Amino acid sequence: KSGIDHKQADIYFIHDFQLAPLATFFPQLRPALWMCHVDTANPDPGGKDYIEQFLDAYSVCVFNTPLSIFKDLPQEKTHVITPTIDPFSEKNRFITPAKGLQMLARCGIDTTRPLITQVSRFGNWKNPWQVLDVYRLVKQELPSVQVALVGAMEAADDIKAMEILKDIQGMAGDDPDIHLLYDPAVITHAEVNAFQRYSSVILQRSTREGFGLTATEAMWKYQPVIGTSVTGLRTQIIDGQNGYIADDTETCAKDTLKLIQDRALSHKLGKRAHERVKDNYLLPMMIVQYLGALAKAWGASEEPLLVRGA
């Protein structure tokens, strides 16, 4: 408490559920904004009620997408800051086909054959199991296809991720066309760039997703992503226009095969995907949205609006 008293800030950003009570317990944290980064489009009612009791203390509540905003919050108390990408970062800047394909080859990929890729950490909500199910359906029609699950295991003590990886390794068996790439010494931002840019098809099979920047990154690289109907992905992907939304395995496999076999279609959708990111999800847009949140917080009354109008 004494640390907060002696280092008073002009404004406070408090992030996610774990820290939501801070502004209630420390009333000197004013004005304060609460930032919610997870998928809250369909929250558990009990959990939502518990969190909302702490939101009266905030001038503004910020969400990733309009779909994630708690329905009973006053409109003037809410704001959207969409996650964005830096197009000049190592993960997103242009790399030539020669360099990108060389990186894939170093990771064991046969660059003369089609490649399905999902870039994600090994987590329950990322649904890597369905990626392999899709791959096996596609392989029945296209035996030359390969698949890569790309997700660097940067935290050695992430026990749950290790359990999921072990389960996926068992599911993969001895299939030489399944590539599980998780060593952070091998999978750097440069390799992620290469996989997103030069794979034949990019999947994102998440079962929950607050936004999904791995989809954004692939779309920036002219890739039509095949995602699911979770909040963050359906915010970015317009089904049939710049990618596909397909929840079930069979539809996803059909869309994957379609994009592999019809490269003109893939390029057309990919160009639209790139344009959507250029218009909506680059870093300057997030700066503008942050400034809007700051202006709203500064313009709020000294006493923040109550969530339930009490």
pLDDT digits 0-9 by tens, 203-261: 999 999 999 999 999 999 999 999 999 999 999 999 999 999 999 999 999 999 999 99
Dist. CA 286–CA 91, nearest whole Å: 18
Average pLDDT over residues 23-48: 92
Helix (H) or strand (E) segment spanning residue 197: helix 189-198
CATH 3.30.2130.10 fits 2-84+284-299, yes or no: no
> Could you check whether the bond before residue 284 is cis, i.e. omega within 30 degrees of 0?
no
Please list the residues that pair with 178 across neighbouring strands.
147
97-281 CATH, one of 3.10.450.50, 3.40.50.720, 3.40.50.2000, 3.30.565.10: 3.40.50.2000
Dist. CA 3–CA 147, nearest whole Å: 51
**Residues of the chain by 3-state class (helix, strand, coil), percent to 5:** 45, 15, 40
pLDDT at residue 58, as a whole number = 95
CA atoms within 13 A on the CB side of 78: 17
Residue 36, φ and ψ in degrees, nearest 5: -110, 120
Identify whether the C-beta of residue 206 lies closer than 8 Å to the C-beta of residue 127.
yes
Question: Each residue of 131-152: pLDDT tens digit?
Answer: 999 999 999 999 999 999 999 8
Q: Which of 293, 231, 302 is nearest to 76 (CA)?
A: 293
pLDDT band at residue 111 under the 50/70/90 scheme:
very high
Structure tokens belonging to residue 54: 């702490």
Average pLDDT over residues 158-166: 92
Residue 179's SS3 state is: strand
Residue 235: CB atoms within 10 A of its CB come to 23
CA atoms within 13 A on the CB side of 236: 36
pLDDT at residue 140, as a whole number = 98
pLDDT at residue 310, as a whole number = 40
Domain boundaries, the chain: 2-84+284-299, 97-281
Q: Tell me whether the CATH fold assigned to 2-84+284-299 matches the one assigned to 97-281.
A: yes
Identify whether the C-beta of residue 96 lies closer than 8 Å to the C-beta of residue 103.
no
